[in-house]
Amino acid sequence: MFIDFAKIEVQSGDGGDGAVAFRREKYVPKGGPSGGNGGTGGSVIFETLPNLSTLLDFRYKKKYFAGSGKPGANSLKDGKNGEDIIIKVPVGTIVKDAETEELLLDLSEANKKVVFAKGGTGGKGNSNFATPTRRTPRFATNGKPGEYRKVILELKLIADVGLVGFPNAGKSTLISKISAAKPKIADYPFTTLEPNLGIVRYKDYLSFTVADIPGIIEGAHQGKGLGIKFLRHIERTKILLFLIDITSEDYQSDFDTLYNELKKFSKKLVDKKIIISLSKADLKQEKEINKLAKTKIKKVKESVVIFSAATGLGLQTLLDRLWETLNKA
């Protein structure tokens, strides 16, 4: 099950209190203060793992508390430090404050550990406060409390190219042909119910990644359909590839609808490099395809790319355009 949103509670450990103690040894008549320091509380640490692809685990466990430090003891014994808690998340996870939605962490690098909340420092034992004029301090300091926060975890796939189109525009078929991804494909709307990520092997051992999200329909920004729910997964992409069905009666209108829905979600999306493609070219004759190759779409300088994922027509041209644009992005 693909889960890309979760709310959890985290808390770092409290520091242990310092100890008040005095030496009472047989051959040390005057003794002296011997209270140890409290241990440091454990920290909350996020770790990104490349083999994770969902926030599903956080549906079942929502509280993550690190261990507290132990208090100091006599004979200058320091308390044991509290154990850290490591929260493992997929690459591309962001951490936001649950109340203000302020961005706190952007975990976009693999195999990286980031301390999110440090544990409280331990208190000082009375042995730290002895001076020539104050030889028997009878006080120690308390440990500092840990940090408690409610946070939101959001997963944003990290891909070079994001596929955008209406339901049944052929996005899933395309990603299944150019990568090893195996999305569900059928001839009814909303076949894609969750994002798919595919790695495209290009020439000479080169590669790039493509993200396919559920189809977008008009009014998506108001909650209609499924695509708007997953638009966060193409916010990180360098290129947006618009797929428009070649049998459509108005390519410009289709593009404008998709473009406007993206813009209403986030203006940053429409600032990206945009490539327009006409999919399902196998449904047109060669003469018609040659005429359509000159099609221009307003807001986009480059001409359209025509392809058929079913027959492979134009796929290499499409990949070449994507790779060329990626290198310029």
- Report percent pLDDT > 90 for the chain: 57
- Mean pLDDT of all residues in 159-188: 78
| pLDDT above 70 (res 30) | no
User: What are the two backbone dihedrals, phi and then psi, of residue 210, each rounded to the nearest 5 degrees?
Assistant: -125, 135
Residue-wise pLDDT for 206-261, tens only, equals 899 998 877 676 654 455 554 556 777 788 899 999 999 999 999 999 999 999 98
Copy the structure tokens of residue 243: 């797929």
pLDDT for 1 equals: 53
| pLDDT above 80 (res 164) | yes
Residue-wise pLDDT for 174-186, tens only, equals 998 988 766 444 4
| pLDDT above 70 (res 192) | no
Residue 135: HSE in the Cβ half-sphere, 13 Å Cα cutoff = 6
pLDDT for 53 equals: 82
Copy the structure tokens of residue 219: 């009014």
pLDDT for 126 equals: 94
| pLDDT above 90 (res 197) | no
- Mean pLDDT of all residues in 156-175: 87
Segment of 2-6, 148-152, 201-205 carrying the highest mean pLDDT: 148-152
> What domains are defined for the chain?
5-155 (2.70.210.12), 161-328 (3.40.50.300)
- Mean pLDDT of all residues in 144-153: 97
Copy the structure tokens of residue 312: 């492979």
What's the pTM value of the predicted model, to 2 decimals? 0.74
Nearest of 4, 106, 2, 117 to residue 64 by alpha carbon:
117
Residue-wise pLDDT for 123-136, tens only, equals 999 999 999 888 88
d(CA 268, CA 45): 30
User: What are the two backbone dihedrals, phi and then psi, of residue 249, each rounded to the nearest 5 degrees?
Assistant: -85, -20
Residue-wise pLDDT for 80-97, tens only, equals 999 999 999 999 999 999
d(CA 98, CA 114): 19
Copy the structure tokens of residue 193: 């119910």
pLDDT for 270 equals: 87
